[in-house]
């Protein structure tokens, strides 16, 4: 054959190799969710790609047969096609045996370079850029190749499957989507500018609803404002004026003897109409929804939905009231900073290395705010105040502190034995090593006497 025929044959082999290379990357890189969406929209080619992905053995066998066969043929044709011309060009400069060796080497480098650039590198980069489109465009031709090479596919695929079974290697791709996969997609969307940082945080909060206990969102027992059935009308007006709320618990003598709740709007209407307010009669009382303190946020939301309620009392195993929670509280836990009014932030930056943190801040919010991967034995507490108490093994006092995760958590305000506020300070690396070397988590807790 002449030079033109040889060149035509080489580029034909390069085109075939490009087809197999592009098909391989496109099928492997195609996203199943995107293909299912296209199939649901009526594109049948996406369904055929999904079928190949479900059983990729035949596909990859055909690809390897094609690539290796073309590479071998390319080497044979290239050597015979270009070596004589290189010999002719180099004959005035070189003599045998160097002329044959150099001509063969140049021919080999030329053919290999063409295959690497045009048959391998460029097709794969194109397929990586738009895998679904390429896979759907080539799926018909690839299915035809699988049918034509079925005997070889059966032989090589059977041998490969036997080896995999012998070695205990799984032969099917695990396409199960995990929570970490979803987090990674959201993080990638934020980096690409598709999602705003607050939107990413909101979606992460939604996924964490099944791990965050309802006690992290409730109003705690010590902060509850409630009516006693024995309260006078003046007592109720004073409580409403001092702590205005939409709903108030009504109890008989003590907080744990719950009779129901009253709506502040109904009380206001009675006051405007000059009617007497008597909580003992019960016509103002509404039955209170009681939920256990073992629920998570998602389960609490389901309780509200099933009972068509927006207010619930949280009780522990001893039938003691530990707090109250509303649908607004659950929404605040999910919405985070989007749902906080000005002045309600639980973590306030003082400067670049220190923050004031409310003691009731959920430990999950602290982990997120300070990029701390985990807290020791975090199943034993729910708030940053609980973390301090657990680490110190005592009721904290002012200036007590705990060092963890590169931060110093120092108690700065106590309210009736409750940790009201902490100062969190970032510790420099050299100072951190000096304080924490060879120290266990409990050894990082430093109680200070409060004279």
d(CA 263, CA 245): 9
* List of residues 6+ apart from 410 with CB closer than 8 A: 399, 400, 401, 422, 423, 424, 425
d(CA 332, CA 205): 10
Q: Which of 185-199, 245-259, 427-441 has the highest mean pLDDT?
A: 245-259
Beta strand ranges found along 165-232 (DSSP E): 219-220, 226-228
Beta strand ranges found along 264-352 (DSSP E): 289-292, 311-315, 321-326, 347-351
Instruction: For residue range 165-175, list pLDDT tens digits in order.
Output: 888 877 666 66
DSSP SS3 for 264: helix
d(CA 427, CA 354): 9
d(CA 186, CA 174): 21
Instruction: For residue range 418-448, list pLDDT tens digits in order.
Output: 888 999 999 876 555 555 433 334 445 555 5
Instruction: For residue range 365-414, list pLDDT tens digits in order.
Output: 888 888 888 898 888 888 899 999 999 999 899 999 999 989 999 999 99
Query: 184 and 85 in contact (C-beta within 8 Å)?
Result: no
Beta strand ranges found along 136-255 (DSSP E): 219-220, 226-228, 247-251
Residue 451's pLDDT band, with cuts at 50, 70 and 90, is: very low
- Average pLDDT estimate for 62-74: 83
Query: 377 and 394 in contact (C-beta within 8 Å)?
Result: no
Residue 98: C-alpha distances to residues 80, 87, 88, 405, 421 (Å): 17, 10, 13, 68, 85
Query: 212 and 318 in contact (C-beta within 8 Å)?
Result: no
């Amino acid at each position: 054959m002449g030079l033109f025929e040889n060149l035509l044959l080489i580029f034909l082999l390069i085109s075939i190799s490009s087809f197999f290379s592009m098909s391989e990357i496109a099928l492997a890189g195609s996203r199943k969710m995107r293909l299912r969406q296209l199939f649901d929209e009526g594109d049948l080619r996406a369904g055929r790609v999904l079928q190949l992905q479900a059983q990729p053995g035949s596909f990859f066998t055909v690809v390897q047969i094609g690539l290796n066969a073309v590479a071998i043929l390319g080497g044979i044709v290239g050597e015979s096609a270009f070596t004589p011309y290189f010999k002719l060009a180099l004959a005035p400069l070189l003599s045998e045996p160097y002329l044959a060796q150099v001509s063969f080497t140049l021919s080999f480098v030329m053919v290999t370079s063409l295959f690497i650039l045009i048959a391998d590198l460029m097709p794969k980069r194109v397929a990586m850029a738009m895998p679904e489109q390429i896979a759907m465009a080539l799926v018909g031709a690839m299915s035809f190749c699988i049918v034509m090479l079925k005997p070889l596919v059966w032989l090589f695929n059977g041998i490969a499957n036997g080896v995999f079974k012998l070695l205990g290697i799984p032969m099917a791709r695990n396409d199960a989507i995990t929570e970490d996969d979803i987090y990674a997609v959201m993080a990638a969307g934020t980096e690409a500018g598709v999602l705003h940082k607050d939107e990413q945080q909101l979606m992460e909060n939604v996924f964490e609803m099944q791990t965050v206990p309802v006690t992290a969102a409730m109003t705690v027992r010590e902060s509850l404002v409630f009516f006693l059935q024995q309260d006078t009308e003046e007592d109720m007006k004073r409580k409403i004026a001092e702590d205005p709320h939409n709903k108030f618990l009504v109890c008989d003598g003590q907080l744990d003897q719950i009779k129901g709740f009253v709506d502040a709007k109904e009380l206001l209407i009675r006051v405007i109409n000059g009617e007497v307010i008597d909580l003992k009669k019960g016509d103002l009382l509404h039955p209170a929804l009681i939920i256990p303190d073992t629920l998570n946020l998602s389960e609490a939301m389901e309780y509200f939905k099933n009972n068509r309620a927006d207010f619930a009392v949280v009780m522990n195993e001893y039938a003691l009231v530990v707090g109250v929670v509303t649908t607004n509280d659950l929404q605040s836990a999910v919405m985070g900073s989007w749902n906080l009014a000005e002045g309600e932030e639980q973590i306030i930056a003082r400067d670049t290395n220190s923050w004031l943190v409310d003691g009731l801040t959920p430990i999950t919010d602290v982990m997120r705010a300070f990029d701390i991967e985990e807290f020791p034995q975090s199943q034993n507490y729910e708030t940053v105040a609980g973390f301090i108490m657990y680490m110190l093994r005592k009721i904290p006092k002012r200036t007590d502190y705990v060092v963890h995760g590169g931060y110093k958590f120092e108690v700065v305000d106590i309210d009736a034995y409750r940790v009201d506020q902490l100062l969190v300070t970032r510790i420099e690396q050299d100072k951190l090593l000096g304080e924490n070397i060879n120290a266990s988590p409990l050894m990082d807790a430093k109680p200070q006497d409060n004279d």
